[in-house]
Amino acid sequence: MGKNILSVLLFALFLAPNLSFGSDEVTTENIDAKAQKNKEHKEYINHHLQDSYDFTIWHEYGIGFPLPIILIDEGFHIFSSSNFHHGETVAESNGKFYKVYHNKIYRTDAEGTITLDDHHHPTQVKPLDLSITKNVFTILIFSIFIFLLFRSFARSYGENQIPNKIGRFMEPLVIFVRDEIAIPNIGEKHYKKFMSYLLTVFFFIWFLNLAGMTPLGIGVTNNIAVTFTLAIITFLITLFTSRKAYWGHIFWMPGVPVPMKIVLAPIELLGVFIKPFALMIRLFANMTAGHVVMMSLIALLYIFPNWFAKGAFLSLTLFLSILELLVAFLQAYIFTMLTALYFGGAVAEHDDH
Amino acid sequence: MAKEEKTKKKQPKFIALSGIGLQMGLTIYLFSYLGKFLDNKFSPETEYWTIGLILLGVVVSFYNLLRQVNKINDQEKHD
């Protein structure tokens, strides 16, 4: 990989003196074009980060496929997202008309009128949207993939004790989650009942983070709804498995003077909600930031006229891609680790350490 | 059992403090909010409640932080 970066840099150096002419004249036209270009890049990045109703692989050439739209709006509506023609036309279903406005579906009339209120929000009715969007589709595909992968992995143990081909890769990771994450944080006694959830969450986040690194544009973990759901599940499991000592630590902190016990109680209660909230924000923000930085660097390739700068940004993008591969694993690890830590606190039985 | 002790030592325990910044910030914010409310209610000219309660919030959040750090340190010593 280092050799690749080096050759790109050399290439850039070689071309730098030859190809940077002709773009140094600054005119008002130039500036306008540049501002327009910047705006386009920004829109492209935002579009990439958002969920969408059809699975678009190559936006410019219209390569992709439509996905089903499912709406509950005084009845059940199922139709293909191709009826929207990428949000340009009104779709009709059972006598009702729908239009996509800013990536949300609204009920309108046959002309597709959208009226805005003072806060620039549409006044039209937003039906309950259960559509299989790009993110939902990706999650379903990867869930099936992970399920099949682990099934074949588990089945190979029935025949002999040596793991099969996938197993040789997966076994150390499963052992890692058990020995490095679950047992130290939850404890030898209770860790077993949490293993299924910890493994699921670890591989789900890791695989989907890696999927976000592909050029398909399927960033699922940079959608806050997905991380919210994961955090909520952790929160609920923590609450429902909690023992007496967990609530004792919150409302009547052992080992501190009585006035402090009273002051700490509301703060610790706040902490119960802050912990899953921080989990949600951490995964969402890290993945979103990674994607924004990467795409901004790629956009800079098109903005800078200098070939030397292009080479530098290309190598920086390559370097950051490798870093993002690490972050993909790290975020899955941290999420699982903290989840295990909260479970450990919930099932702790005594106060002495 | 010996293997388990080995893995325990490798564990970075301070990861438990990853959400502490948010908790401290929110604690101080809530104390200041309460202070403002009390100032508006009892003495709208002065701001002693706000200032006093913000300082108390800082003290409490640091107390909470130190308590957790000490707990982690004790745990590490035991392992």
Rounded Cα distance, A162 and A148, in Å: 19
pLDDT of residue A27: 62
User: What strands lie across the sheet with A128-129, from one edge to the other?
Assistant: A76-80, A68-72, A128-129
Answer yes or no: do A270 and B16 touch at CB < 8 A: no
Does the pLDDT value for residue B76 go beyond 90? Answer: no
- Interface confidence (ipTM) of the complex: 0.76
Contact residues on chain B for A338, CB-CB shorter than 8 A: 15, 18-19
Asked if the structure places residue A241 within a domain, the reply is yes
Domain hosting A163: range is 135-347
Same domain, A115 and A212: no
Asked if the structure places residue A51 within a domain, the reply is no
Same domain, A174 and A125: no
pLDDT of residue B11: 57
Same domain, A211 and A334: yes
Asked if the structure places residue B73 within a domain, the reply is yes
Asked if the structure places residue B13 within a domain, the reply is no
- Tell me how close the Cα of B2 comes to any Cα of chain A, in angstroms: 13
User: Which residue has better confidence, B8 or A143?
Assistant: A143
Answer yes or no: do B18 and A338 touch at CB < 8 A: yes
Same domain, A114 and A205: no
Answer yes or no: do A267 and B23 touch at CB < 8 A: yes
Answer yes or no: do B30 and A188 touch at CB < 8 A: no
- Tell me how close the Cα of B8 comes to any Cα of chain A, in angstroms: 6
Asked if the structure places residue A139 within a domain, the reply is yes
Q: Could you give the angle at which helices A224-241 and A307-347 cross, rounded to 10 degrees?
A: 20
| Pick from A192, A185, A184, A179: nearest CA to A343 | A185
Answer yes or no: do A274 and B23 touch at CB < 8 A: yes
Is residue A346 within 8 Å of A340, Cβ to Cβ? no
Same domain, A160 and A107: no
pLDDT of residue A107: 85
Sequence-distant (6+) residues with CB within 8 A of A277 are A231, B22
Of A184, A277, A353, the CB nearest to B71: A353
Does the pLDDT value for residue B7 go beyond 50? Answer: no
How many domains in chain A? Answer: 2
Same domain, A71 and A206: no
Contact residues on chain B for A271, CB-CB shorter than 8 A: 19, 23
CB proximity A175 to B under 8 Å: no
Asked if the structure places residue B34 within a domain, the reply is yes
Does the pLDDT value for residue B2 go beyond 50? Answer: no
Which residue, A81, A99, A131, sits at the end of a domain? A131
Is residue A339 within 8 Å of A198, Cβ to Cβ? yes
- Give the pLDDT mean for B33-40: 93
Asked if the structure places residue B3 within a domain, the reply is no
Asked if the structure places residue B30 within a domain, the reply is yes
Report the Cα A37 to chain-centroid distance in Å: 27
Instruction: For tokens 């500036």, name the residue.
Output: A31
Domain hosting B54: range is 18-78
Strand pairing category for A63-66 and A54-58: antiparallel
pLDDT of residue A353: 47
Which residue, A95, A116, A131, sits at the end of a domain? A131
Same domain, A126 and A146: no
User: Which residue has better confidence, B6 or A235?
Assistant: A235
Is 0.80 topped by the overall pTM? yes
Alpha carbon separation from A33 to A28, A29, A36, A297, A304 (Å, rounded): 9, 6, 5, 19, 13
Asked if the structure places residue B48 within a domain, the reply is yes
Asked if the structure places residue A15 within a domain, the reply is no
List A residues 62-101 in contact with B (Cβ-Cβ < 8 A).
none
Same domain, A77 and A145: no
Same domain, A96 and A168: no
Contact residues on chain A for B30, CB-CB shorter than 8 A: 270
Answer yes or no: do B64 and A282 touch at CB < 8 A: no
Asked if the structure places residue A47 within a domain, the reply is no
Structure-block tokens of residue A32 = 């306008």
CB proximity A185 to B under 8 Å: yes
Phi, psi of A104 (to 5 degrees): -125, 150
Rounded Cα distance, A262 and B48, in Å: 23
Same domain, A188 and A202: yes
Asked if the structure places residue A33 within a domain, the reply is no
How would you write the pLDDT of chain A (353 residues) with one tens digit per residue? Answer: 445 555 554 444 444 444 443 444 556 677 788 788 888 888 888 877 888 888 887 777 778 888 898 988 888 888 888 888 877 788 888 888 888 888 888 888 887 778 888 888 888 888 888 999 999 999 999 999 999 999 888 888 877 777 777 788 888 999 999 999 999 889 888 999 999 999 999 999 999 999 998 888 788 998 999 999 999 999 999 999 999 889 988 898 888 888 888 888 988 898 899 999 999 999 999 999 999 999 888 888 888 888 888 888 999 999 999 999 999 999 999 999 999 999 998 998 765 44
Which residue, A87, A109, A131, sits at the end of a domain? A131
Phi, psi of A336 (to 5 degrees): -65, -40
Same domain, A280 and A327: yes
Asked if the structure places residue A27 within a domain, the reply is no
- Tell me how close the Cα of A268 comes to any Cα of chain B, in angstroms: 9
pLDDT of residue A85: 80
CB proximity A278 to B under 8 Å: yes
Strand pairing category for A91-93 and A96-101: antiparallel
Of B11, B19, B74, the CB nearest to A274: B19
Same domain, A215 and A125: no
User: Which residue has better confidence, A295 or B8?
Assistant: A295
How many domains in chain B? Answer: 1
pLDDT of residue A33: 80
